[in-house]
């Protein structure tokens, strides 16, 4: 198949395919007429790459999965190097979740403090001043 058909079937662009090719993630095969040619295995590699990118993996992280598929394994995540990438990604996600949890706690504390201060205004007295609305 040619590059346009592969891009359409994989739900990506020809530009992205050329980029993946330049990075060595999909093969650069050319027909006699100079057109790029691809087969079902290339589609499978591309689907693996796209799935991992959808999960938030950067472009180099799928390389072990692609290598695993190229080695003839039925799934790109059945090789030790691929499993290592999964483990590193989970560690990264756990760290980000922890950071977000800490930020959420801080924002909640700020909200509680601000609500207390706003509620502490003297009944019947002037409303707390807000520079954004004045």
Measured CA to CA, the distance from residue 18 to residue 33 in angstroms comes to: 18
CATH of the domain at 26: 1.10.1660.10
Question: What's the Cα-to-Cα distance from 50 to each of 96, 97, 106, 134, rounded to whole Å?
Answer: 22, 24, 36, 50
| Residue appearing with tokens 């692609």 | 66
20 in a structural domain: yes
d(CA 19, CA 134): 52
pTM value is 0.71
- Say if 131 falls within a structural domain: no
Strand blocks (E) in the chain: none
Per-residue model confidence as pLDDT tens digits over 71-103: 989 899 999 999 999 999 999 999 999 999 999
In a domain, 34, yes or no: yes
In the chain, the number of structural domains is 1
Residue range(s) defining the domain that contains residue 109: 3-118
Express each pLDDT in 44-64 by its tens digit: 999 999 999 898 899 889 999
């Amino acid at each position: 198949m040619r590059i346009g058909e592969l891009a359409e079937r994989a739900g990506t662009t020809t530009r992205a395919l050329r980029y993946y090719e330049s990075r060595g993630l999909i093969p650069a095969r050319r027909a006699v007429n100079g057109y790029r040619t691809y087969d079902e295995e290339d589609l499978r590699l591309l689907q693996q790459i796209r799935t991992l990118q959808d999960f938030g993996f950067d472009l180099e992280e799928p390389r072990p999965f692609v290598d695993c598929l190229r080695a003839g394994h039925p799934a790109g995540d059945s090789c030790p190097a691929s499993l290592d990438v999964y483990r590193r990604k989970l560690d990264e996600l756990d760290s980000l979740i922890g950071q977000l949890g800490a930020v959420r706690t801080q924002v909640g504390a700020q909200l509680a403090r601000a609500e207390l201060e706003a509620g502490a205004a003297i009944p019947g007295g002037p409303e707390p001043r807000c520079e954004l609305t004045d």
